[in-house]
Structure 1
Amino acid sequence: MRSFLTKTLATRCGQVLAAGSAEEAATLCAQHRFDLLILDIALPGKSGIELLRELREQGHSGEVILITAFADLDTAIEALRAGASDFILKPFRIAQILNAMAQCLERSRLARENFVLRRTLSEKRPASPLDGFIGNSPAMASLQHALRRAAAVPSTVLLSGESGTGKELAALALHARSPRAAGPFVPVNCATLSPELIDSELFGHARGAFTGAARHRDGLFYYAQGGTLFLDEIGELPLAQQATLLRVLEERRIRPVGSEQQIPVDVRIVAATNRPLAEEVRAGRFRKDLYYRLQVVEITLPPLRAHKEDLPALAQHFIATLAPQLGLEPFEITAEQMAYLQQYDWPGNVRELRNLVERSLILGALNVQALYPGLEPVPQPRDASAGAAAPTDLQTLERRHILSVLESVGGDKTRAAALLGISRRTLERRCAEWQAAAS
Structure 2
Amino acid sequence: MNLTILVVDDEKNIREGLIRALELDGYEVLGAEDGKQAWELVQKRPVDLVVTDLKMPRLSGEELIKNITSTQPNLPIIVLTGHGTVENAVTAMRHGAYDFLTKPVNLDRLSLLVKRALETRVLAKEHQALKEEVEKLEKKRQFAQIIGKSAQMQRVFEVINQVASTRASVLITGESGVGKELVADAIHHLSDRREGPFIKTHCAALTETLLESELFGHEKGSFTGAVGQKKGRFELADGGSIFLDEIGEINPSVQVKLLRVLQEKSFERVGSEKSLEVDVRVISATNRDLKKEIAAGRFREDLYYRLNIVNIHIPPLRERKEDIPLLAATFLTEIAEENHKTIEGIDPKARLALYNYSWPGNVRELRNCMESSIVLCKGNIITFDDLPPAVRTADDGQYIRLEVGVSMDQAEKEIIRQTLIHLRGNKSRTAEVLGIGRKTLHRKLHDYNLIEEFGNSDI
- What interval of TM-score do these two structures reach, taking the shorter chain for normalisation? 0.5 to 0.7
Structure 1 residue runs of 4 or more that deviate by more than 6 Å after TM superposition:
none
* 1:197-252 alpha-carbon deviations (Å, 9 max, x no partner): 11110111111111111111111111111111000000000111111111111110
Report deviation, 1:331.
4.7
Match of 1:371 among 375, 388, 407: 388
Superposition pairs of residues 329-340 of structure 1, within 5 angstroms: 329-340=342-353
Aligned identity (percent) is 44
Deviation at 1:393, TM superposition (A): 9.5
Deviations 1:245-273 (A, max 9, x none): 11111110121111122111111000100
CA contact (8 A) 2:349 2:384 kept: no
Shift of 1:326: 3.1
Query: Aligned pair 1:216/2:216, yes or no?
Result: no
- Cα distance between partner residues in 2 of 1:287 and 1:363: 48
Counterparts of 2:258 and 2:296, CA distance in 1: 20
Question: Partners of 1:151 and 1:393 in 2: how far apart?
Answer: 35
The answer as to 2:205 corresponding to 1:192 is yes
Task: Give the distance between the partners of 2:175 and 2:306, measured in 1 at CA.
Answer: 22
1:232 and 2:249 are equivalent in the alignment: no
Tell me if 1:277 matches 2:290: yes
CA RMSD across the alignment: 2.1
Indicate if the aligned counterparts of 2:241 and 2:280 stay in contact, CA closer than 8 A. Answer: yes
Q: Which of 240, 250, 257 is the matching residue for 2:270?
A: 257
Q: What CA distance in whole angstroms lies between the structure 2 residues aligned with 1:392 and 1:307? A: 13
Give the Cα–Cα distance (whole angstroms) in 1 for the partners of residues 221 and 394 of structure 2: 62
Q: Distance in 2 between matches of 1:146 and 1:393?
A: 28
Shift of 1:303: 0.9
Partner SS for 1:205: coil
The one-letter amino acid of 2:393's match is L
The verdict on how the C-alpha distance between 1:393 and 1:142 changes in structure 2, with shifts beyond 3 A counting, is closer
| Pair 268,262 (structure 1): closer, same or farther in 2 beyond 3 Å | same
Aligned to 1:288: 301
Cα 1:321–1:215 change in 2 (3 A) is same
Q: Secondary structure at the match of 2:157?
A: helix
Q: How many angstroms does 1:139 deviate by?
A: 1.1
* Structure-to-structure mapping, 1:84-103, within 5 angstroms: none
**Are 1:149 and 2:167 counterparts?**
no
Counterpart residue identity of residue 230, structure 1? F
Q: Distance in 2 between matches of 1:300 and 1:392?
A: 24
Change (3 A) 1:151 1:189: same
Name the counterpart of 1:355: 368
SS of 2:209's equivalent in the other structure is coil
Per the alignment, residue 171 of structure 1 pairs with 184
Aligned twin of 2:101: none
**Which residue number in structure 2 is paired with residue 244 of structure 1?**
257
Q: Find the aligned partners of 1:283 and 1:323 in 2 and give their Cα distance.
A: 47
Larger radius of gyration: 2
In the alignment, is the contact (CA less than 8 A) between 1:132 and 1:144 conserved in 2? no
Matched residue type, 1:141 = Q
Structure 2: distance between partners of 1:266 and 1:377: 51
What is the TM-score of this pair, normalised by structure 1?
Answer: 0.56
What is the letter of the counterpart of residue 315 of structure 1? A
Give per-residue Cα distances to partners, 1:346-382, cap 9 Å, x unaligned. Answer: 11111110110111121126454561257165335xx
**1:129-156 Cα shifts (integer Å, max 9, x gaps):** 9525212111111110011111021010
Deviations 1:298-317 (A, max 9, x none): 11011111111111111111
The more displaced of 357-366 and 307-316 is 357-366
Contact residue 220 and residue 227 of structure 2 kept, 8 A = yes
CA distance in 1, matches of 2:291, 2:213: 28
Q: Using the alignment, how far apart are the partners of 2:249 and 2:233 within structure 1? A: 18
**For 1:158 and 1:145, how far apart are their aligned partners in 2?**
15
AA aligned to 2:368 is: N
Q: What is the CA–CA distance in structure 2 between the aligned matches of 1:183 and 1:173, rounded to whole Å?
A: 14
Tell me which residue corresponds to 2:442: none
Cα distance in 2 for residues equivalent to 1:393 and 1:146: 28
Is the 2:188–2:241 contact (alpha carbons within 8 Å) kept by the matching residues of 1? yes
Secondary structure class of the residue paired with 1:217 = coil
Instruction: Assess if the C-alpha contact under 8 Å between 1:203 and 1:254 holds in 2.
Output: yes
- Segment drifting more, 254-263 vs 153-162: 254-263
Quick one: distance in 2 between partners of 1:249 and 1:377?
A: 48
Change (3 A) 1:360 1:190: same
Matched residue, 1:315: 328
Query: CA distance change for structure 1 residues 235 and 377 in 2, over 3 Å: closer, same or farther?
Result: closer
Aligned residues of 1:184 and 1:224 also touching (Cα < 8 A): yes
Distance in 2 separating the partners of 1:346 and 1:157: 26
Are positions 1:343 and 2:372 aligned together? no
User: Are the equivalent residues in 1 in contact too, given 2:349–2:383 (CA < 8 A)?
Assistant: no
Q: Secondary structure at the match of 2:285?
A: strand
